Amino acid sequence: MSASIFTKIINREIPSEILYEDDRVIAIRDISPQAPLHLLVIPKAEQYANVAELAAGDPELLAAMVATAQRLAEEHADGEFRLIFNTGAGAGQTVFHVHAHVLAGGLQEGTLVGN
Ligand code: AMP
């Protein structure tokens, strides 16, 4: 299988605005923001296609993603945030390398990430 777009970003093969990185996760600004602050928190491990697979396979990594989302929402907004994991094409998922959408900063009620 070819590398996902997020693996290419992690490997610096394509550019993105990286706001945070450690040995397990990376956080970038979404290229098509749906809120004043719209980040993606992405595990470097690419074998989990969605959050259900990640929760079953590595719950600590999922917890690390949530903690990263919280920290970034505090740094870049008021600390309150919406965390979205589109799971399956029918739910709007387009990249099958698990990622959390972090939306913050003056959210409208009902704002959802979809395509
Ligand atoms: P999903 O539809 O839940 O799979 O989310 C994929 C997200 O990746 C979308 O919100 C896209 O805007 C975002 N995206 C796609 N390519 C890039 C990129 N090169 N840099 C940043 N975000 C991207």
Q: Which architecture does CATH list for 5-104?
A: 2-Layer Sandwich (3.30)
Provide, rounded to the nearest whole percent, the portion of the chain with pLDDT above 90.
90
Give the chain's end-to-end CA distance (angstroms, integer). Answer: 24
* pTM of the complete model: 0.95
Reported as a single tens digit per residue, the pLDDT across 7-49 is: 999 999 999 999 999 999 999 999 999 999 999 999 999 999 9
Residue (of 110, 107, 113) closest to 93 by Cα position = 113
pLDDT range class, residue 1, cuts 50, 70, 90: low
With 90 as the cut, is the pLDDT of residue 107 above it?
no
DSSP structure string for 63-87? HHHHHHHHHHHHHHSSS--EEE---
Tokens of 107: 């959210």
pLDDT range class, residue 106, cuts 50, 70, 90: confident
Ligand 1: residues with CB < 6 A are: 5, 14, 16, 28, 30-32, 40, 86, 92-95, 115
Q: How far is the CA of 30 from the centre of ligand 1 (A)?
A: 6
| 3-class DSSP assignment, residue 68 | helix
Listed in order, strand segments (DSSP E) in the chain are 18-21, 25-29, 37-43, 82-84, 100-104
Query: Do residues 69 and 41 make contact, with C-beta atoms less than 8 angstroms apart?
Result: yes
CA distances 114 to 2, 20, 92, Å, are 24, 24, 5
Please identify which residue in the block is written with the tokens 């003056």. 106
